[in-house]
Structure 1
Amino acid sequence: MISEFIFNITCNIIASFIFIFTLLIFFKPKFDIVHFIAKNDSPFDNVTDICYSFKIINKSFFGAYDIEARSNYYYIRQGENGIINKVFSKIELKTNKVNFIFGFKPLKKNYGDNCVQFFTYEDLSAKMESSSTYIQFQITARHSLTGLNNIFTYNFVNKSKIVEGKFKEGNFKEIIKC
């Protein structure tokens, strides 16, 4: 009787752990940050400035909400006792928040509702002339079904990641010349 009770408790604990880890692994937002920065003319009316754009793709089957983008320059400085410090400086984005992005639909070829671009008018090319200046782009998103959030970060450490052109529409990670 007691051994059966202990066996049932153990099975319930194992099942609970499996459920929690399944929830945490499969029901968090999944985003890809495209590993290029597109340099092109502004897509906004009455603006003739050059802009730089970052692209994200929602790879979750569910939508995501409360998407917030942050972009920073950072410099690496050697501190005392060999400790490395990162010093951050904010890059001003035209829009840094999006309320909702639809989920990924792998069977639809002409689908791009799960992709978003973020723009800035700061001259990123000029700032990255220095070999010690890098760009960090970060996304925070919340899963629409579970409410779990996730943070995605990509560091652009080479100026060759800035490419002239615009992002191809849809679930593509390439830049086309314009």
Structure 2
Amino acid sequence: MTDLILGITISIVAGVISSYLFLMYFLKRKRVKIEISPHVSKVIFEGEVNYFFKFVNKTNSEIFDIRIEPTFYKQVGGVGGMNIQGKDIVLKDNFISYIPCKKKSDTNSLHAMRVRTSEDIESNWSDTSSYIRLTVIAKHSLSGFTNIFVQDFYCKDVITTKRFKSGDDLGVA
């Protein structure tokens, strides 16, 4: 009888430990990894001025349900102090259903995405307390875990007339 209880206890403890190790080591690695460029590229595209944001899927797997939300924040006076007021920047495409992972056979760098807006963000950027926050929300294709990535642009100096480099490079040239 004691051997039976000891066997059951050992089985339960081994199951709990193996489940913990699975969750901590396997699933923890199955998270979305995205890098966002610190630049905003101002380019004439389709006859109008557009501002491009770039981000790259650094995950070893596909990601899906990607939402991109740029927001312009500026300080406004409130009773007893300052508050932040947000205004959404409308993108041409703010939802991407699927982005593949990086592959050697991919000559078009489909894992690197550029999104654009035709709003004149330079004229809306009126003072030094204003900034733009780009938020990218994505799900991992295997685990289903969602991660949120944020890049803040604090001054107009991040806007450049140079174009983004191709592939993983987040720089401009």
Q: Does 1:27 align with 2:27?
A: no
Residue 109 (structure 1) shift: 8.8
**What is the rounded CA distance, in whole Å, between the counterparts of 1:111 and 1:26 in structure 2?**
26
Q: How many residues align?
A: 170
Alpha carbons of structure 1 residues 111 and 49: separation in structure 2 relative to 1, 3 Å: closer
- Counterpart secondary structure, 1:152: strand
With normalisation by structure 1, the TM-score equals 0.84
TM superposition outliers: structure 1 runs of 4+ over 6 Å: none
Match in the other structure for 1:150? 147
**What is the rounded CA distance, in whole Å, between the counterparts of 1:19 and 1:103 in structure 2?**
23
With normalisation by structure 2, the TM-score equals 0.86
Q: Does 1:131 align with 2:128?
A: yes
Aligned amino acid, residue 99 of structure 2: I
Match in the other structure for 1:88? 86
Alpha carbons of structure 1 residues 71 and 3: separation in structure 2 relative to 1, 3 Å: same
Q: Does 1:104 align with 2:107?
A: no
Query: Based on CA coordinates, which of the two structures has the bigger radius of gyration?
Result: 2
Residue 166 (structure 1) shift: 1.1
Identity level (%): 27
Alpha carbons of structure 1 residues 145 and 109: separation in structure 2 relative to 1, 3 Å: closer
**Tell me, which stretches of 5 or more residues in structure 2 are unaligned?**
none
Residue 158 (structure 1) shift: 2.0
Alpha carbons of structure 1 residues 8 and 165: separation in structure 2 relative to 1, 3 Å: same
**What is the rounded CA distance, in whole Å, between the counterparts of 1:163 and 1:37 in structure 2?**
6
**Tell me, which stretches of 5 or more residues in structure 1 are unaligned?**
none
RMSD: 2.3
